[in-house]
Each structure stands twice: as C-alpha cells, then as structure tokens.
Chain A
C-alpha cells in the first residue's frame, strides 16, 4: 500500500534563506509522526507546502499515492487533508458550530453538484430552494459536527452559539481541531495543538490526540512539548535549518547528539546528556 504522504527533496526558499532544504519523509497509514526542532527550523513552512498554502521551489509531494506537488489547498482538502494552524485561525465572527460546519465544507455533495460551469449557479439555486436532499445533508452534517464537538465535552458544548472571538485561547485551539475533524480527514496535520495551553489543558489535548490515533487516523504533528511527543509518536523527525537532522523512534531521537546540539547549541551538547531523562531536552 502506498504511503499516505510521501515527500521527496522538497525545497522552499524565502529570499536568500532556505526555509525548507531537501526535506523527505514517508508517513504510513495509521501512523503518528512528529516533527520537532527549534523555532525557525522550517516545520510550519513544511506544513504550508504540504497543505497547498505555499508552493515548493523543488521536490515532490505525493498524497494517498497521487502526485500533488504545488496543488491548491482547496483541492487537497477535497482529497481528505485537514490541518490546524500554529497561531490559531478560527473564523472569529462565526459561532463554534458554524466553524466546525465550515470544516465539513469539502464533504458537501447534495448542495454542490459537480456539474461543470453551471455548478456554482446550481449551488446558489439549491441553497435558496433547499430540496429534501439538501436539508437532509445539512441535518446530517450538523449532527456529525455536534458529535465531534462533544469530544471536547464541557469545554465547547455549552458554547455552540458563541462567536469564536469570545472564546479563550485554548478553546479556539479546540475549535480548530474540531473543524479539522469535521472534514473527516484521511491525513491530519496538527501544528502545535497545545501552544499556549497550561498543563491540565495540555494533558486533555494529549488525550484527544491519543484517541484520534487509536481510531486509526494518520497524523503529522508539530509539537514543542517533548513529553507529549514521546508518548504519542510512532516515529519522530528532527528538523533544523530546513533539514532533517535525525529520524527514528522517540527514545532514540531523544539521545541523538545532533538533536541535543540543535536544541541547546554546540557547547551544551555534552552537558545536556545527563538531564536527558527529564521532560525538557
């Protein structure tokens, strides 16, 4: 079976800086692969290249066995790729429920017939007339969205109608993940899902991600909190200066001198080995 995601020799430069230089990875069905590395290592740029928000200068991306290098984000969403954003990009004036429903946009069928040229006009007409099939689809999506929001329990359920701008930072991150799940993704890219969360919130999020993994979802995770990375990951890739500097099982990567050096700088590399048992590299 072809890997879910296959990246080869991917490159992206901004001006004179190589944000991603020669990235490569394979992600298998049901696997959770974490990408770690210091700030500016090129992790988020890699996500942008994979999810179609930025075009690579060179290299190739294959998704579910299809060549998708440089494909538009809209198309990739249609193929079953969902992502969250590092700093949170919820739709501020939309309610929690509507945010999640937008996540299901790529799954709309009845109201978005795939007819060339006339498709958009039919969509406008169907949205106005709302025949039974369209109403049924909308009701099903709503039910599905509620089921997904319920994963976050009391955090989001009482706030279904609240506009996203009124939510706490942590709740916005939850809404983002719920929105991503509403796409029914075959590959989920999570960009620092616990950024800005306290310990309790981080532990909750870790449970959620663990649950997603158990359900068989393939996940690519960027995360700074190494404890979470160590617990959840099947494999870990370490990036620095746009390159992969290490790859392997979580425990092996953690003790790799190149990784310690990248995180702590050259001189610290020797000293850092002892407290490496701790939670911070």
Chain B
C-alpha cells in the first residue's frame, strides 16, 4: 500500500513538473503583457509534434530532439507576439485575450491539417529501467522530467536575476510604462518572454508525449487549462508561485485519481480552480487585493456607435426568412435552422459578454444543461416537448445563474477563466453523474419536436419553430435593453465601482443577465437536443463556446441584430463554400483574429 502511495506521489510530482513548464511561461507572459495566453497549450502541441517529427523522420537523439523543439517552439512564440499581439497594443483590455484564443484555433488546426487528428506514439528515447525505492519505483523518464523542470527553474532564475535582459523583463513586469521611459525596449522584452515561455511549453509537450506515449492535437485545450489552473493557484504573474501551484495541482490530481478514479481527474483541477478564484483570486501567496485603479472611462469594449437598421428592413428580413421553406431546399433549410439555434446562443452570449461585459468562455455549458433538462423531462418524466423546452429554459436560467454566481465578484480575465472552468465542470458532471445523465452513453432517442400534437420534426417545422422562438427572444431582449436594465447592465460593464457607488448591486444585475441569457441558451440547447434526437457530454463542448464568442464579436458585442447576423454568417458561409468545410475551424480562428485587429466593434457596432 505504501508503495502505491509512493508511486502516486512520484506521478504527482512528474505531472506537476510538466504543468510547471507550462505555468511558468504563462506567469512570465502575464507578468510582462498582462495577458492570460490561451494559445499556450497550442504551442505545447506544436512542441510535441516537432519532437515526434524529428525522431520519426530525422532519427534525432534526445538532446537534438529537445533542441529542435526549443527552437521551433520559441519561433512560434515570437510569431505569436509579433504578428498576433503587438499590433493590438492600446486596444481594449479583452482584445489580446481573445486574440490568443484565435491564435490557438489557428495553430491547432494547422497542426491537425499537417498531421491528421489521429493520436500518435512518441518513440521512447529514455532507457526503460526503473529504480525500486521503498516499495515504489522511479523511472529514468521521471528523473529526466524532474531534471528538466529543475534545470529550467534554475536557468530561468539566473536569467531573471543576473542578465540585463532578465532585469528588463522584471522591470517591465513591475511597470511597463516606467520601464519604457527608462529605455527598456518593451517590445524586445515581450518577444524574449514569449520565446522563453513557448520553448518551455514545447518541451513540456514532447515530455508529456513520452510520458503517456501518445500525442494528439486534442491535448492543446487541456494543457492550456491546466497551465492556467496552476497559474491561478500560484497567483497571476508570480513565477515561483506558478511552480508551487503546478506541484500542488499535480499532487492533488494524482491523489484524487488514487482515491476516486481517473474520470474525476479534471473535475478536481477545475473545482480547485473555482475554489481559488472565489477565495484567493490573487493566489495562495499574494497579499490582499486592493481597489482597482480609477479608469478614465470604460475601456472594456471597443467604442463605437452601432449601425442603425430601419425597422422596416428588419421586418422585411424576418418575412423573407419566414418564406424560405417555400423555396423547397431542404439542405438550405437545415443550415438555416442550425443558424437560428446558434443565433439564440449568440443572443444570450451577447447579453452576458457584450452588454454586461462578462466574457464567458463556457457558454456552451448552458446549451448542455438545456438539452439534458428537456431531453430528460421528455424521456424520463414523460413531459410533452412543448412544455419540456420552456421548462428547460427556466432550469438553465436558474442552474446557470447559480453556477456562475461564485464568479460574480470577479472581473475581466478572471471571469473568462472562471466561466471556462465552470463550463468544463458541467461537462464532467454530465459525464460522471451516470445515474441521471447516462454518462458517456449519452441521451439517445430524444422525442422529436412537436407542439401539442403538431409535428415539427420535419426540416420546415424545425426551421419555423426556431425562427419564431428566436424572433420572440430577440424582441424580449431588445425590450429589456430599452428599459432601465439596459443602462444598468452597461453601467456595470463600463465601471463596476462607479455603478456600486450609485446603488447598483453587481450581483443582482449580473444574475438577471445570466438568468435571461441562460433562458435563451437553455431553449436553444433544448431545441437542438430534440432536433438531433441524440446528445452526449461532448455535443456542447468548449469549441462551441468559442464559436459563439466569435459570432458575437463578428456581430458587435451587445448588439442583438449583430448576434443574429454573426451566427448566420458563421454557420451559413462555410456551408455555402463546401470545399472549405475541412478548414472551417481554421476560418473561424482567422475571422476572430482579423476582427480583433481590424474591426473590434464588429459588423453592426458594439452597444
């Protein structure tokens, strides 16, 4: 028994070391650029594949493999900084974070197109012996990973402490404006930091490949998340904290697996994340938080004046959309129905992320809650679909608001991280709560759409139902935005501190926004579930959250018509150009990047 625990401890330390290689880079980047880099896991995947390619095609020995990984990853990092982020200097605070999401989509897709999504085995380049210690064992690879972790930490410490560039990095981290005044080339510092961080991330990727003897493009998202969890535990921007946080995370996961089994591994990580965000948002090692500095004016979203669309034009478009089924093109209608379901999600997200400024990265979880609620009500409780769908909307409104409630006190990047974590928790609970959700098997045979005997299961029926529901939700949302709630929500977004000083309770109005947004998203998820007849815990994954965010930014944050337009364009256009289907996600990534760079206010303008 003692031996097993020893093994779990060793395993925890090894995984912790791998996380540390990720988290240290994230901490450095946060330090100098004030940015949580969501592309970090993508560089890790690039590293893993470069290592695999070097060994497979060139037959490189271990040191050369690592050198290749370091060089290519560092170059990717430099590219991210130079092409993706530097041009965004001076734009709204959320822009660089969204850009890193776009970069992640692009990098992941490029790797996937080059190497196919199939997992690959990384040839072991380390001897297979293991030393027995006190009943457990330690392998050569364990020692190598620990060694690389330790050496990296020492080299990094030396670099930051004793080299001129290292001083510049620390100066920039403390106060980038002051550093620039004193002659520090901040751009060079940023580039150096991205190179170092990316090199460490790439090395981490290839080591993980060897450790689990498998790599795939799907590892990227999880690596980013784990790095961020470790970073939050240690405190954003705190390099030694990131190392400690990584080891804590690695050990927690390893012991968690020992006690509860593998499928709970990520649940532990994300629950730890949310607990940290709620109780110690500045990390285990930070002093207490203080009041945020007074901004000149709201700097959250791009300033713009929304495009004014005359009412008759909107009515005409709705009428045309309602007549579309008469054209007799089932395939077009199918896409139309899909766009409309996404438009409901976008409506919800544009309220939460645009109007209230809570950029949610886990919004697809609301679809999942709505889909499961309606599916289970119809299947297990025998509710008619016409009642189970609105009920699912209410359930999602309540549950979604309760789940995000702990994150209401957070602002900016923290909200995005928290909602991402909450979204993952929802997916993991659906997977593990087998008694209610049927776990990995998913919900099959969900009854088709019908309203009190009127069968809407046909393509036309689904389309018309979606259109009617969307128009109703959009009108309701517009009406709320024109009431006192509209200005109150936007006031919270622009300056939460000033809003509080005028009696606006952030919790109350965020809850109302998440409640109404949850209702719309829940309805969307429920309709989707009945239209597809089958859903599982992966149907509404993180990629849908990111897609919804892209739609909302394309339309203009907070803009109701923009959300519908964004959803329609992003769903319909790739279908219109079928030969692009393979590059769909790549296109989403590029669209996101171009928007952030050249039209942050979106097509219709932010509201």
A residues in contact (CB < 8 Å) with B: 14-15, 48, 51-54, 72-74, 77-78, 82-83, 85-94, 98-99, 101-103, 105-106, 108, 111, 120-121, 123-124, 127-128, 130, 138, 163-165, 172, 179, 183
Contacts and interface: CB of A to CB of B under 8 A. Distances in A.
A109 to B, nearest CB: 12
Interface in B264-293: 287, 290-291
B287 to A, nearest CB: 7
B303 A93 contact: yes
A99 B291 CA distance: 22
Nearest to B301: A93
A102 B303 contact: no
A87 B491 CA distance: 17
Nearest to A90: B297
6 contacts: A52-B500, A92-B296, A93-B490, A102-B502, A124-B515, A163-B303
A179 B502 contact: yes
Contact of A93 (B295, B298, B508): B298
A140 B299 CA distance: 31
B503 A78 contact: yes
Interface stretch (B170-178, B371-379, B478-486, B579-587): B478-486
Contacts of A14: 290
A142 B402 CA distance: 34
A124 B508 CA distance: 11
Given A73-B501, A106-B503, A130-B479, 5 more contacts: A86-B294, A90-B495, A91-B490, A102-B499, A121-B515
B487 A98 contact: yes
Contacts of A98: 487, 490-491
B542 interface: no
A85 B500 CA distance: 13
Contacts of A172: 297
Interface residues of B, number: 41
A124 B500 contact: no
A208 B2 CA distance: 78
A128 B512 CA distance: 12
A130 B494 CA distance: 26
A138 B484 CA distance: 8
A14 B479 CA distance: 45
B295 A127 contact: no
A33 B297 CA distance: 28
Contacts of B298: 91-93, 165
Given A124-B512, A183-B502, A101 B476 contact: no
Contacts of B318: none
A128 B504 contact: no
Contacts of B502: 77, 82, 102-103, 105-106, 179, 183
Contacts of B494: 91-94
B317 to A, nearest CB: 24
B501 A54 contact: no
Contacts of B463: none
B491 A91 contact: yes
B164 to A, nearest CB: 30
B488 A105 contact: yes
B491 A127 contact: no
B512 A123 contact: yes
Contacts of A85: 294, 498
A102 B291 contact: no
Contacts of B500: 52-53, 72-74, 77
A74 B506 CA distance: 9
Contact of B504 (A53, A74, A94, A127): A74
B503 A164 contact: no
B212 to A, nearest CB: 45
B484 A164 contact: no
Nearest to B499: A102
Contacts, number: 129
Contacts of A127: 479-480, 483-485
Contacts of A73: 500-501
Contact of B488 (A15, A52, A74, A102): A102
B464 interface: no
Contacts of B479: 127-128, 130
A42 B290 CA distance: 15
A250 B494 CA distance: 38
The 10 A-B pairs of least Cβ separation, nearest first, read A92-B297, A106-B503, A77-B503, A92-B298, A127-B483, A91-B494, A89-B498, A73-B500, A98-B487, A87-B294
A124 B291 CA distance: 30
A92 B303 contact: yes
B606 interface: yes
Contacts of A164: 297
Contacts of B515: 120-121, 124
Interface in B450-503: 476, 479-480, 483-485, 487-488, 490-491, 493-495, 497-503
Given A101-B487, A127-B484, A165-B303, A120 B606 contact: no
A83 B501 contact: yes
B148 to A, nearest CB: 37
Contacts of B337: none
A187 to B, nearest CB: 13
B394 to A, nearest CB: 11
Contacts of B607: 93
B194 interface: no
Contacts of B485: 123-124, 127
B505 interface: yes
Contact of A105 (B299, B503, B606): B503
B385 to A, nearest CB: 25
A12 to B, nearest CB: 11
B511 interface: yes
B287 A15 contact: yes
A52 B305 CA distance: 34
A14 B291 CA distance: 11
A187 B234 CA distance: 43
Contacts of B13: none
B588 interface: no
Nearest to B290: A14
B49 interface: no
Instruction: Point out which of A51, A83, A89 has the most chain B C-beta atoms below 10 A from its C-beta.
Output: A89
Nearest to B294: A87
Contacts of A52: 500-501
A49 to B, nearest CB: 11
A8 B287 CA distance: 28
A91 to B, nearest CB: 4
B38 interface: no
Nearest to A88: B296
Nearest to A124: B512
B30 interface: no
A90 B354 CA distance: 18
Which among A78, A90, A91, A179 has the highest number of chain B CB atoms within 10 Å?
A91
B483 A128 contact: yes
A51 B290 contact: no
B297 A101 contact: no
